[in-house]
Structure 1
Amino acid sequence: MSPPEDLELEYRSFSLPLAEPLETADGTIESRDGFLVRLVDDGAPGGTGPGDGSVVGYGEATPLSGWTESREGCQRALERARDAIRSGGPSEALEAVDRQVAARHALALALADLQATRESTPLYRYLGQGPMVGRVPINATIGDGSPAETADAVRTAVDRGFDCCKLKVGLRSVDADIERVRRVRETVGDGVELRADANEAWTYEEARSAIDAFGDLGLSILEQPLPAGALEGHAALRDLRTGVSVALDEGLLEHGVDAICDAEAADVVVLKPMALGGIDVARKVAAWLTELDITPLVTTTIDGVVARTGAVHLAAAIPDVPACGLATGDLLATDLGRDPVLFEKGSAVVPQAKGLGVGDVWGER
Structure 2
Amino acid sequence: MIEPFSLPLASPLDTAAGAITERQGFLLRTRDGLGEATPLSGWTESREKCRDALETADAALPDWQAALDACRGRPAARHAVALAHLDAASRAEREPLYRFLADDDSWVESVPVNATVGDDSVESTVASAREAVASGFDCVKVKVGARAVADDVERLRAVRAAVGADVELRADANAAWSADEANYAFDELAGDVSYVEQPLAKSDLDGHAALREHDVGVALDETLTEYGVREVLAADAADAVVLKPMALGGLDRAREVALTAREAGVAAVVTTTVDAVVARTAAVHLAASLPGAPACGLATASLLDADLAPDPAPVGDGEVSVPQDPGNLPGEVRP
Partner of 2:299: 327
Is residue 108–residue 291 contact of structure 2 (8 Å, CA) maintained in 1? Answer: no
Partner of 2:69: 95
Partner of 1:257: 229
Partner of 2:122: 147
Is residue 14–residue 119 contact of structure 2 (8 Å, CA) maintained in 1? Answer: no
- 1:123-160: CA deviations, max 9, x gaps? 00111133452210000001122222211111100011
Partner of 1:115: 89
Deviation at residue 22 of structure 1 after TM alignment: 3.5
Deviation at residue 358 of structure 1 after TM alignment: 3.4
Q: Secondary structure at the match of 1:235?
A: helix
Aligned to 1:269, which of 236, 241, 245?
241
Deviation at residue 220 of structure 1 after TM alignment: 0.7
Q: Secondary structure at the match of 2:61?
A: helix
Paired with 1:143 and 1:268, the residues of 2 have a C-alpha distance of 21
Aligned to 1:29, which of 3, 16, 20?
20
Does residue 182 of structure 2 align to residue 207 of structure 1? yes
Deviation at residue 27 of structure 1 after TM alignment: 4.8
Partner of 1:74: 50
Partner of 2:59: 83
Paired with 2:112 and 2:152, the residues of 1 have a C-alpha distance of 26
TM-score computed with the length of structure 1 as normaliser: 0.88
Q: Secondary structure at the match of 1:216?
A: coil
TM-score computed with the length of structure 2 as normaliser: 0.96
Deviation at residue 277 of structure 1 after TM alignment: 0.5
Deviation at residue 28 of structure 1 after TM alignment: 4.3
Deviation at residue 359 of structure 1 after TM alignment: 1.7
Deviation at residue 263 of structure 1 after TM alignment: 1.2
Is residue 235–residue 266 contact of structure 1 (8 Å, CA) maintained in 2? Answer: yes
Larger Rg: 1
Partner of 2:79: 105
- Listed as ranges, the gaps of 5+ residues in structure 1 are 1-9, 41-55
Q: Secondary structure at the match of 1:149?
A: helix
Partner of 1:196: 171
Identical pairs, percent: 54
Q: Secondary structure at the match of 1:239?
A: coil
Aligned to 2:108, which of 133, 136, 143?
133
The aligned runs of 1:201-350 (5 Å cut-off) are: 201-217=176-192, 219-240=193-214, 242=215, 244-350=216-322
Q: Secondary structure at the match of 1:293?
A: coil
Paired with 2:247 and 2:330, the residues of 1 have a C-alpha distance of 21
- 1:151-186: CA deviations, max 9, x gaps? 111110001100000011112222211111111111
Paired with 1:167 and 1:31, the residues of 2 have a C-alpha distance of 20
Deviation at residue 261 of structure 1 after TM alignment: 1.3
Partner of 1:52: none
Q: Secondary structure at the match of 1:179?
A: helix
- 1:243-295: CA deviations, max 9, x gaps? x2100111111111122112111010110000000001101111111111111
- AA of the residue aligned to 2:10: A
Paired with 1:122 and 1:133, the residues of 2 have a C-alpha distance of 12
- Listed as ranges, the gaps of 5+ residues in structure 2 are none
- AA of the residue aligned to 1:21: P
Paired with 1:343 and 1:77, the residues of 2 have a C-alpha distance of 34
Deviation at residue 319 of structure 1 after TM alignment: 2.3
Q: Secondary structure at the match of 2:89?
A: helix
Q: Structure 1 residues 27 and 193, CA, compared in 2 at 3 Å: closer, same or farther? A: closer
- Please give the root-mean-square deviation of Cα atoms over the aligned residues, in Å: 1.4
Q: Secondary structure at the match of 1:165?
A: strand
Is residue 88–residue 327 contact of structure 2 (8 Å, CA) maintained in 1? Answer: yes
The aligned runs of 1:150-165 (5 Å cut-off) are: 150-165=125-140
Deviation at residue 212 of structure 1 after TM alignment: 1.3
Does residue 98 of structure 2 align to residue 124 of structure 1? yes
- 1:304-327: CA deviations, max 9, x gaps? 000000000001011211001111
Partner of 2:40: 64
- AA of the residue aligned to 2:183: R
Paired with 2:17 and 2:134, the residues of 1 have a C-alpha distance of 33
- AA of the residue aligned to 2:165: D
Aligned to 1:20, which of 11, 22, 30?
11
- 1:95-119: CA deviations, max 9, x gaps? 1112211111001001101110110
Which segment drifts farther, 112-121 or 22-31?
Answer: 22-31
Q: Structure 1 residues 26 and 186, CA, compared in 2 at 3 Å: closer, same or farther? A: closer
Paired with 1:176 and 1:30, the residues of 2 have a C-alpha distance of 24
